[in-house]
Amino acid sequence: MSGSNVWSRNRDKIRLFPEFFAQCTAEAAAYGKCVAGSTTGRQELQKDLCSKEFEALKTCFVNAAKKRAK
């Protein structure tokens, strides 16, 4: 396997990210609000604190990628 092929495939995926993100604005906003709300002041983000919101965002990205692949 050529190293350049790996980079090309990854670069292509990264180029599609804005398109996927545009389809998931509500989920991204909910996740961002959770993260921002949980880290007010000097408080650090704790693992799994926003897992529900993250899973919703992840699911949205996966579904957007599947739609694009068709």
Q: pLDDT value at position 1?
A: 47
Which residue's structure tokens are 């957007």? 64
Full pLDDT tens readout for the chain, 70 residues: 455 677 777 787 788 888 888 999 999 999 999 999 988 887 888 889 999 999 999 999 999 988 876 6
Ranges of beta strands (E only) in 1-70 are none
Residue 36, φ and ψ in degrees, nearest 5: -65, -40
Q: Are 53 and 30 in contact (CB under 8 A)?
A: yes
What gap in Å lies between CA 58 and CA 64, rounded to an integer? 10
User: Residue 48's Cα: distance from chain center in Å?
Assistant: 15
